[in-house]
Amino acid sequence: MIGIFDSGVGGLSVFREVRKVLPEESYIYYSDNANCPYGGKSKEFIIDRARKITELLLEKGARIIVVACNTATAVAIKTLREEYPAIRFIGMEPAIKPAAQMTQTGVIGVLATAGTLSSEKYLNHKGKYAAETTIAEHIGEGFVELVESGNTAGHDAERTVAASLLPLLEAGADTIVLGCTHYPFLSETISKVAKERFPERKVTVIDPAPAVAKHLKEVMKEEALLEATPKEAPSVTLLSSGDSTILEQTFQRL
């Protein structure tokens, strides 16, 4: 069984891609929506929550865990790997490298939480893969709240997205990296706003989830964790620390 957790429903954007490449596996997904968003929480709080969620997932039978949250990956995955050496943890990777290879204007836009933008992992990727590329950054203000409320399209969503997206586009960005797993649920709105405000520019939105799913499958092969002949039909268990309504509704839409 594969365990996946996030601060809320955002990690379902990762689960969606994982299930495409590993359809015969069973899953347990944990949404810590009672404490969402993680972006403004302290390092100590996030590590404590990651530890407690990991314990729960292991008790439920998870054999490998996907930290489907950029902030939790940046803050807690190193600690998790040290404290649970027998378990493989798959985290989120900043998609700086593919963005740097793809941009035509030489400017990459990054939408993420404050925790991700200041993290060692993000800063290392930025220095390693985008030394010759200009990077414009902005916190996706209100993005997580939109997704957690199920309000991912329409006037209010477009207005909220525009406030954080336009500074990146005005800086010349033609490639937008989504640095939070909630943000892919706003991809259509992001693309719509970009096309309306800068119709002459082709803007590409990069979701890192497919690359994470590919890496997970590779690791499971290495660790002999793939279910070659499942004894039971694949199952999906959804758990949450708060109201599970949005989690269940989002899952059904997927």
Express each pLDDT in 156-171 by its tens digit.
Answer: 999 999 999 999 999 9
Q: Is 69 a catalytic residue?
A: yes
Q: What pLDDT is recorded for position 231?
A: 61
Q: Which of 9, 53, 69, 205 is catalytic?
A: 69
User: What's the half-sphere exposure (Cβ side, CA atoms, 13 Å) at 95?
Assistant: 25
Question: Of these residues, 180, 194, 209, 213, which one is catalytic?
Answer: 180
Q: Work out the mean pLDDT of the chain and round it to a whole number.
A: 92
Q: Give the rounded percent of residues in the chain with a pLDDT score beyond 90.
A: 76
Q: How far apart are CA 206 and CA 147, in angstroms?
A: 18
Whether residue 36 lies in the annotated active site: no
Phi, psi at 114, each rounded to 5°? -60, -40
pTM given for the model: 0.88
